[in-house]
Amino acid sequence: MSLDITTLEIALATLVPLALLAVVVALGRNAKRLAPLVLLSLLWGFATTYIVIYANDWWAATYGLSSLIVLGAPIFEEISKSFALPFISLSHRCQWFVDGAVLGLAAGTGFAIRENWLYLERVGPDEGIGLALARVSSTNLMHAGCTAIVGAAIVVTAGRTWYQRLGIGLGGLLVAITLHSSFNRLTEAENSSALLITLTGVMVFAIAAGIVAFGMPLSSRWVRQDLQSHGASASEQAALGGGSSVAELLDHFEARYGADAAEKAEQLVSVQREIAIGRKAGRASDAEIAALVEKADELRRGIGLFAMMWLRSHLPVDTATVGMWADLSHSVDDAPTELHDAAPIASGMWARLGELAPSNDALQPGPSDDEV
């Protein structure tokens, strides 16, 4: 039984953009938390095509088709795709500019899918596959990438003054309109090659993917800085900063202390990252930060004193700070001159011993290295 060619065209024009979106969402490492907002943005982008088509028809009738392609369509489409992003990004699930880029990417993807369907309705069966391939490899990438830039610009201004937020948001929108217009001009130019058009679409999408990828090492650095400012040891900073060896460490940790402790340790990594991003990005209120800190403390207590000591002392960090005892020289802050008579201020591991009051079960040490 042969597959209906229309079904194949629609599947290609729908599943490829969705697959690319899924890859970038996974790259952002917040797929579960952002899933509802991603779906909402995707649906918004899809629905907005029903509105923008009337604006495009008006512009074409008033100023001509060429003017629509290079000016009217980029303006109307970028505004419509991005219109809901300031409202969607108000959710507490949207924490920083990477999340904004992902939501923008979703809105652009939804718009591109619906536009694909409209174009496929206008061509014959012999041209459908070629058109679908051309669009998913160029136009769809441009749509998604442009809106991702706007989404990142909207969210990155959280906590700033209203005129900074307005200025940066409109600046991101202007960049998106300019890129969209430049892409459309290439499609209209007689001497433009299909390769050049495709590369332009890929470049715009790469900007969006680059914003998301940039957030990965940046968030790890934020976590380390945040932990350091709150008295964490070098080993704990390595544990919770999201280094490449964390997964391997947690596997060994699970072998010694069990799946429940390992699950809590993994949650601790995630919560500590949220705390650092919330503080640095300005998206979280003091109450939300306090709730996350309490959750992190609860996870530490649930992991247990001995397990947390092992977690901090068995990490691949700089040789000068390897092991729990290497941090003793940094365990007490130097008191200011005017406070010499005051009680010493504990920091690092010792500051948390009171927080880690272990249960009877937690006081049972794990198996020795020989037993593992």
Most confident range (mean pLDDT) of 50-59, 84-93, 279-288, 327-336 is 50-59
DSSP annotation of 346: B
Question: What is the domain partition of the chain in residue ranges?
Answer: 5-215, 230-327+345-352
DSSP annotation of 321: G
pTM (two decimals): 0.64
Query: Which tokens in the block code for residue 174?
Result: 């202007």
Query: Is the confidence at residue 336, as pLDDT, over 60?
Result: no
- Mean pLDDT value across residues 144-172: 90
Give alpha helix (H) positions in the chain. 5-27, 31-63, 65-67, 73-82, 85-88, 97-120, 125-134, 140-156, 162-188, 194-229, 234-240, 246-257, 259-281, 286-303, 305-313
Query: Is the confidence at residue 327, as pLDDT, over 70?
Result: no
* Rounded Cα gap, residues 51 and 150, in angstroms: 20
pLDDT digits (tens, 9 = 90+) for 44-61: 999 999 999 999 999 999
Lowest mean pLDDT among 36-40, 93-97, 173-177: 93-97
What's the gap between Cα 69 and its chain centre?
Answer: 32
Write down the pLDDT at residue 16: 95
Q: Torsions phi, psi of 15, nearest 5?
A: -75, -35
Write down the pLDDT at residue 366: 47
* Residue of 279, 277, 296 lying closest to 33 (CA atoms): 277
Residue type, 350: W
Roughly how many angstroms between the first and final C-alpha of the chain, as a whole number?
A: 56
**Looking up tokens 């940790």, which residue turns up?**
253
Q: How many CA atoms lie within 13 A of 238 on its CB side?
A: 22
* Rounded Cα gap, residues 319 and 238, in angstroms: 13
pLDDT digits (tens, 9 = 90+) for 134-147: 999 999 999 999 99
Write down the pLDDT at residue 229: 54
- Mean pLDDT value across residues 227-239: 51
For 240, 257, 295, 372, the CA distances from 247, given in Å and listed in that order, are 11, 15, 21, 18
